[in-house]
Structure 1
Amino acid sequence: MPATIIMGGQWGDEGKGKLTDTLAASADIVVRANGGANAGHTVQTDQGVFKLHLIPSGILNPRCLSVVGAGVVIDPKLMLEEMDHLVERGIALDRLRISERAHVVLPYHPMLDGLEEAERLEGSIGTTLRGNGPAYSDKVSRRGIRVGDLIDSPVLRDRLSQELPRWNRILTNVYDAEPIDFEMLSEQLDGYGERLRPYVADTEPRIADALALGETIIVECAQGAMLDIDYGTYPFVTSSSTTAAGACQGAGVPPTQVERVLGVFKAYSTRVGAGPLPTELQ
């Protein structure tokens, strides 16, 4: 069976998580396609309420493979905290997979996010300060560190030795902030990579095989269409593509293999942070 994409039609908070959880009950694979820990999907089950930020809602279905796709930016510290919380509540993680192509939110990304937002003053765009914007900036400027690098210590140290000096120059010269120590950062990230290694995989061939076998795939988008980097209320947008087209790219699903796109709306519009909101009352 071709894939189903679930996306928000407004500025996020439309209730996508609830719909995804309902459809995930009969799905073989649920893929998270974009965004980072700035997303929040609340799911209610017999085991209680779960608030997920990085891990797909399908993790609550014991027969479903949950994939964090290449289009997601992952803060490894927050990912591990979310994983630990699920385990504490009795949720198994043996069917969790993280794309080796997903990019990593590094400790200096949230720092820069906050410093840049403070610099904007009244022009604030309402970032969540999770570091996603700087992480996506590194990705498109081809400076990013991917999950596949994170789990390979020699490669990680080599990549950090190339990129950290530049970020330290920005922190110290532009923002008068403290530089980040290379050895401390490398050791910290090594620890994260060691714990995440069992879950990292080349996920795209697995998705291609599932499509060929007719398995049911749900692609879960974060945020909403009006926050899309290209088609949203720019510049008050997120840093990733939140549309169905972006979902295909971020999940590794060919557009020709999408059977339906479910746009989720709520009865009245709300948005978090700065930016225009039609029908806003003063």
Structure 2
Amino acid sequence: MKKGLLVTLVLLVVLTLTACQNNDENTLIVLTSSGYEPYEMVDENGQLIGFDIDLMHAIADYLEIEIVWQDVDFDGIIASLQMKQADVAIAGITPTEARAQIVDFSAIYYNSEAGLQNYLLFDSAQGIAALEDLEGLVIGAQLGTIQAELLQSLSETYGFTVDLRSTNAQIVEEIKSNRIDGLVVESLVANAIMAQNSFLASWLVDVDLGHMYGNAIAFTKDSPWLEPFNEALAALEADGTLAALVTKWFEPDVAE
């Protein structure tokens, strides 16, 4: 009886893994993580929209391929690619050295030092103007992000507690409830959050992360799609498509 049950369980696992694999060479499973406006979010109809979403569709059109979206938590994206549960990921991902040990990255598709600076968002009633003002506070960031790394590198020196959550929206709600004092995000995301939450103020966290600026598309290691995607990105830059998407989705100013 136990042996029969074991065989049944093994078959179920095999069937599940087989079902998760993508056997169509012209269809790619693409990971993203909504809730990161203006890069990727869900509209009132439940559809993914945003800069990254439009860019991926433009790449798919250029390469004449189909894509299947999977909306997941950001902190699970790199691990999912490592385990080959998907083919590609686009989610405002910075190609850090640590991540590049696990996945491959495309050429940078968006790089603006001003647009990618980090800002602390906090209730405007609470005056914060320096890192020293963070002592005793609870500061949040999204799990798996370079902003989380930044806070963890500074917390001991400046005496604050780091609280990491799956989404920035969760942290904003905690700020409203006075359970978290601030949220660190890049400036483009800060603009979007502040536009929807007028009680928030912002302060530039002028600390060098030690990372290259910019966003890139992530792939499973040794993916055959890396070079075709780089070719597509170059073509979309040359014909003005990429610039048009930047104009469409990104405000020229940054949070102040």
**Is the TM value for this pair above 0.5?**
no
Larger radius of gyration: 2
